[in-house]
Amino acid sequence: MTTTQHMPVSALQPQSECIIRSLGSDDKTAQRLAQMGILPGTHLHIIRIAPLGDTIEVTGDQGQSFALRQQEIAAMTCEPVAMPLDSELVKVGQTYRIRALTGGKTFRQRMERSGIKEKKLLQIKRTGNKPVLVCQVDLNKQVELGRGEAKKIIIERISNEQN
Amino acid sequence: MNKTEASVTIALAAIPNSGKTTLFNRLTGSGQATGNWPGVSIEQKSGSFVLGEYSINLIDLPGAYALSPVTEEERVVRNYFLQSPPDIILNILDARNLYRGLGLTLQMALSGLPMVVAVNMIDEARRQGISFDLKVLSQHMGVPVTELSARTGEGIPDLKQNLYKVIKYPEKTRNPHISCPPLLEKAFSEITEAINQSGIDTRLDHTFLAMRLMEEDDPEQRANDDKVAVVTRQWYRRLKQSLRTSIPVACANCRFNAARGLAMEVLHDQPAFEDQLTKQLDRIFLHRFFGLPIFFLLMFLLFQGVYGLGAPLQELLSTGFDRVGTWLASQALVISWPVWLQSFLFDGLWQGISVVTSFFPIIALFFFFMSLIEDSGYMARAAFLMDRLMHWLGLDGKAFITILLGYGCNVPAVQQPGPDSWDIC
């Protein structure tokens, strides 16, 4: 099962990644993107969001970097690869691998104490508006994370073997 | 190409930010003329230089990502190629990212016109640890490829030599083949056949013309032969139904698939170390919280620098002019002149020159600081930071640069040719 969908704004965080499946319904925008080498099948890596929001720096597979507006990305349909833990793309019951912790040093240290660090697996127990409940798979330990914390944890789908 | 004709037109075509303007200036020096492309407010620049026994007319085309136009600039480039094909195309690729520019390069290589490719910013690429085998690129595309740095001048003699060879010994090179889905290929070949039969007289390759037709929104109207129009209409309808994307997107897909393979073959070493310095600097200058304060600080410094240094100079110049004026006016010879002449010379002419000249330091300083900012690559970052604000005004991030220029002098701000002339990185 691969999910192709519009990337919700919440999923557009630095270090997120998605594979473009279609460039959206606006032909002119699609053509513009295609001419710059952004095509269906391209992995988009979100690098950063401009301080005022809306403008997003992304890179493609070939290392070319672009600034896109939020609406241009939102119009595409994508297959999410990596997203923040608080995103609505995260499914209960699924297991994900931690790709990066985007917060500061103190935050990382605090997370590491609960075994949450890069490359570790997390199984999602609860999402929604309540704190996110995850299970650190190696330690088989449940950890409750606030929304703010979850936002700073970027997780990636593990390859499709279990889907 | 007619060998007895000594004047050769070369069109400089590349995607934005590939160092086109720098190369143009490097090749033509001061022999430049500017104007507008007919009907649009896009600057047309042409220059001339001498190459052996040929006099070259170099036309700087606006930056375009493809010959199937989306922007006004691309429309200008498309029209230029279709209506008055140049003798030779000079294309530029950015050595730091070949893939990005190859889409356009491949499109132009199919045109059937002689082409020379310049791989620019080779010094930057080397610094990043990128190395490649340009022979492979040259063989695949069937065109000469030169590596150079327009900024330092490295490789320019090689480029000139390649251009000279192409002019002197024009040979028909084979066009590169780009594989497309079978249905598209079939469409192209049938339309090409129709164009062949229409007996059209052009130096452009007929398959190239077929592709240009199919990538337009209104291919039928553009066909100037009834039979071509019929075939085009049939295929246009059929493709629209059976392709999952629009035709231009499908074509771009074919091009970039080829470009990806080509870039992979040409590149020897992926950068061993990425451009860490740029990355670190970006992290600071585009920081979520510090980015904007840094931006405003830099702008503050810019204006402080310009007016802090410029105002005293301005003062100095205008008092100088005043003194000289008063001294001249008090000369016995001058006093003997009629009053109207004195008034014309001193209150009119001298005053006028004095006012205009006293602005000079400020304008010069402003452009000096702007060029520092531009060369550092911060301009593109500033555009990224300001994009939201500008978008809200119905402009895009780069428009902020124009606004900034207006502070120095309104003339260059109004003249500002468009986003293409600002190089990122």
Give tens-digit pLDDT for A122-154: 888 888 777 788 888 788 888 888 888 888 899
Note the pLDDT tens digit of each residue in B129-155.
888 888 888 888 888 999 999 889 999
As a CATH number, domain A9-83 is 2.30.30.90
Give the bridge partners for A136, in sequence order: A122, A141
Mapped to the 3 state alphabet, what secondary structure does chain B carry? Answer: CCCCCCEEEEEEECCCCCCHHHHHHHHHCCCEEEEECCCCCCEEEEEEEEECCEEEEEEECCCCCCCCCCCHHHHHHHHHHHHCCCCEEEEEEECCCHHHHHHHHHHHHCCCCCEEEEEECHHHHHHCCCEECHHHHHHHHCCCEEECCCCCCCCHHHHHHHHHHHHHCCCCCCCCCCCCCHHHHHHHHHHHHHHHHCCCCCCCCHHHHHHHHHCCCCHHHHCCCHHHHHHHHHHHHHHHHHCCCCHHHHHHHHHHHHHHHHHHHHEEECCCCCCHHHHHHHHHHCCCCCHHHHHHHHHHHHHHHHHHHHHHHHHHHHHHHHHHHHHHHCCHHHHCCCHHHHHHHHHHHHHHHHHHHHHHHHHHHHHHHHHHHHHHCHHHHHHHHHHHHHHHCCCCCCHHHHHHHHHHCHHHHHHCCCHHHCCCC
How far apart, in whole angstroms, are the C-alpha atoms of residue B164 and residue B182? Answer: 39
| Residue A13 confidence class, pLDDT cut points 50, 70, 90 | confident
- Please, what is the end-to-end C-alpha distance for chain A in angstroms? 6
Q: Which positions 213-252 of B are in contact with A (Cβ < 8 Å)?
A: 244-246, 248-249, 252
pLDDT at res. A24: 84
pLDDT at res. A162: 46
Asked if the model's pLDDT at residue B96 lies above 90, the reply is no
pLDDT at res. B409: 64
Identify all chain A residues contacting B384, using CB atoms and an 8 Å cutoff. 50, 55, 57, 67
Identify all chain B residues contacting A53, using CB atoms and an 8 Å cutoff. 388
Q: Does A30 touch chain B (CB under 8 A)?
A: yes
And the tokens for B362?
């400020």
pLDDT at res. B423: 35
Taking residues A86-102, report their average pLDDT. Answer: 87
Every domain of chain A and the residues it spans: 9-83, 85-157
Residue B274: closest C-alpha in chain A: A63
And the tokens for B321?
């002019």
pTM (two decimals)? 0.82
pLDDT at res. B413: 65
C-alpha pair distances (Å), B6 with each of B57, B166, B202, B286: 11, 14, 21, 51
pLDDT at res. A1: 44
Q: Does B389 touch chain A (CB under 8 A)?
A: yes
Q: Which residues have a Cβ under 8 Å from the Cβ of B188 and sit 6 or more positions away?
A: B180, B207, B210, B211, B214
Other C-beta atoms within 10 Å of A99: how many?
A: 19
Q: Which residue has the tokens 């990305």?
A: A73
Complex ipTM value? 0.82
Q: Residue A70: helix, strand or coil by DSSP? A: helix
Which run of H or E residues covers position A79?
strand A77-84
User: B118-132, B167-181, B183-197, B250-264 — which is least confidently predicted?
Assistant: B167-181
Identify all chain B residues contacting A31, using CB atoms and an 8 Å cutoff. 68, 70, 246, 248-249, 252
How far apart, in whole angstroms, are the C-alpha atoms of residue B182 and residue B377? Answer: 44
HSE-CB for B299 with a 13 A CA cutoff:
18
What average pLDDT does chain B have? 84
| Residue B10 confidence class, pLDDT cut points 50, 70, 90 | very high
Asked if the model's pLDDT at residue B288 lies above 50, the reply is yes
Name the packing angle between helices B291-329 and B378-392 (round to 10°). 100
Q: Which residue has the tokens 């100095």?
A: B316
- DSSP assignment letter at A39: -
Which run of H or E residues covers position A113?
helix A105-113
Taking residues B246-252, report their average pLDDT. Answer: 91
Taking residues B95-108, report their average pLDDT. Answer: 90
Note the pLDDT tens digit of each residue in B206-238.
889 999 988 888 877 777 788 888 888 888 888
* Partner-chain contact A50 B287, CB within 8 Å: no
Under a CB-based contact definition with an 8 Å cutoff, are residues B154 and B81 in contact?
no
| Residue B424 confidence class, pLDDT cut points 50, 70, 90 | very low
Residue B269: phi and psi, rounded to 5, are -110, 125
Taking residues A106-111, report their average pLDDT. Answer: 90
Under a CB-based contact definition with an 8 Å cutoff, are residues A69 and A81 in contact?
no
pLDDT at res. B425: 30
Asked if the model's pLDDT at residue B418 lies above 70, the reply is no
Closest partner residue to B248 (CB to CB) among A31, A57, A67 is A31
Distance from CA of B329 to the nearest CA of A (A): 59
How far apart, in whole angstroms, are the C-alpha atoms of residue B135 and residue B91? Answer: 16
Find, among B114, B118, B117, B86, the residue nearest to B172 by Cα: B114
Q: Which fold has domain A85-157?
A: SH3 type barrels. (2.30.30)
Burial of residue B20 (number of CB atoms within 10 Å: 0-12, 13-18, 19+): buried
pLDDT at res. B41: 66
* Partner-chain contact A51 B287, CB within 8 Å: yes
One fold for A9-83 and A85-157: yes
> Is the pLDDT higher at B122 or at A9?
B122
pLDDT at res. B40: 67
Note the pLDDT tens digit of each residue in B350-374.
888 888 888 888 888 888 888 888 7
Asked if the model's pLDDT at residue A163 lies above 50, the reply is no
* Partner-chain contact A62 B389, CB within 8 Å: no
What average pLDDT does chain A have? 85
Taking residues B62-73, report their average pLDDT. Answer: 89
Closest partner residue to B385 (CB to CB) among A32, A40, A51 is A51
pLDDT at res. B421: 39
